[in-house]
Amino acid sequence: MTLCVIPARGGSKGVPRKNLLDVGGKPLIVWTIEHALAVPELDVVVSTDDEEIAEVARDAGARVPWLRPDELAQDTTPTEPVVRHAIEQVTAERGRPDSVMLLQATSPVRHDDTLGRALAEFATTGVDSMVGVVEQPPFIWQAGDPPTAAYDVAARPRRQDLTPEARRYRETGSLYVTRTEVYEEHDNRLGGRVGLFVMHEDEGIDIDTELDVALALRLMAAHRAV
């Protein structure tokens, strides 16, 4: 069994009550819940400390069998203890999951086949953990004295000529798939043999500001029009 954990804390500093923000006619979190529920292999659980978020999540079809304790719902709380808490609760209730898919509710743009494709790649590659990424242009610089480039400035590459090994990717934060023992042994969503799950460019949006919401709506509208 693959446990799907969607963390959704009630507090939010950037956009107040962000998980319940209306995005395209639905609360933001509902987009991610619906993505997950479309994949039969997933046991979809929302981890929240907030009664209103819990009610919205249940109405959307997710399981919310407990409310997250206050000590796991602080501004400084990392995600890993939240996932471990979910693993422990589900293990006591239904048995230990083999793996965990972590989905961030702040990433509402996903293609219809994305989550199923991620699970299939996780199974076939045999990695211990997998991180969703989008490809980035190669022209990345690191500040310093002097600044340094992540490419050879004397032989400026063309993006289309880069080998797969030379391509660079940005972690989206949208999804991770991890063997349960990695959380148990390393308290980390990534560990052991790590694989990259390459997502479509438009799936890299993360809602943190009102501008992000506007961009997400445009991307979602464009995707529906295809």
With vertex at residue 106, the alpha carbon angle to CA 105 and CA 111, rounded to the nearest 5 degrees, is 75
Active site residue 156: yes
Rounded distance between C-alpha atoms, residue 137 and residue 114, angstroms: 22
Q: How far apart are CA 139 and CA 73, in angstroms?
A: 38
Name the residue among 77, 96, 80, 99 with its Cα closest to residue 88.
96
Q: What is the 3-state secondary structure (H, E, C) of the chain?
A: CEEEEEECCCCCCCCCCHHHCEECCEEHHHHHHHHHHCCCCEEEEEECCCHHHHHHHHHHCCECCCCCCHHHCCCCCCHHHHHHHHHHHHHHHHCCCCEEEEECCCCCCCCCCHHHHHHHHHHHHCCCEEEEEEEECCCCEECCCCCEECCCHHHCCCHHHCCHHHCEEEEEEEEEEEEHHHHHHHCCCCCCCEEEEECCHHHHCCCCCHHHHHHHHHHHHHHHHC
Catalytic residue among 63, 110, 156, 167: 156
Active site residues: 156
